[in-house]
Amino acid sequence: MITGIHTLVYSDDPEATRAFFRDVVGWHFIETSPGWLIFASGPSEGGVHPRTWPGQTEPGVQRHELSLMCDDLDATMAELSARGATFAGDVDERPYGRCAMLDVPGLDPVLLYAPTYAPAWTSRS
């Protein structure tokens, strides 16, 4: 039985990305070998999106995306900002939640959002 998802991000600056997740985001971790951190990122859910959206003529090049979820976007942004985080752009109201783009060292900005729906892990029977 599959028990979880192991997410990978490929960073241009792995040490800075790991330090950000450890020190700014505050995720607990294990160190599997010196400098190699595996983070406990909390509950997860997965979705499948089309590569071609209505109005597009060519499929997008993106195959994977990392999104971070929170309960209260404003409070989470304030907490992360107090630890040195910055955000790209303004808060965006989308049909599925309130969203902001979190700057992560070594990565493209990562979507941070407070969903307007009950996350999938809350409805498991």
Enumerate residue ranges in the chain where pLDDT < 70.
Answer: 124-125
In this prediction the pTM is: 0.85
In this prediction, residue 124 carries a pLDDT of 67
pLDDT at 57: 82
Digit-coded pLDDT (tens) for 64-93:
788 999 999 999 999 999 999 999 999 999
Per-residue three-class SS string for the chain: CCCCCCCCCCCCCHHHHHHHHHHHHCCEEEEEECCEEEEECCCCCCCCCCCCCCCCCCCCCCCCCCEEECCCHHHHHHHHHHCCCCEEEEEEEECCEEEEEECCCCCCCEEEEEECCCCHHHHCC
Residue ranges of domains in the chain, CATH in brackets: 14-43+65-116 (3.10.180.10)
Q: Is 107 left (phi over 0), alpha (psi -120 to 50) or beta?
A: beta
Cα dihedral 104/74/96/42 (nearest 10)? 60
The answer to whether 77 touches 100, Cβ cutoff 8 Å, is: yes
* Per-residue pLDDT, 99: 97
pLDDT at 68: 95
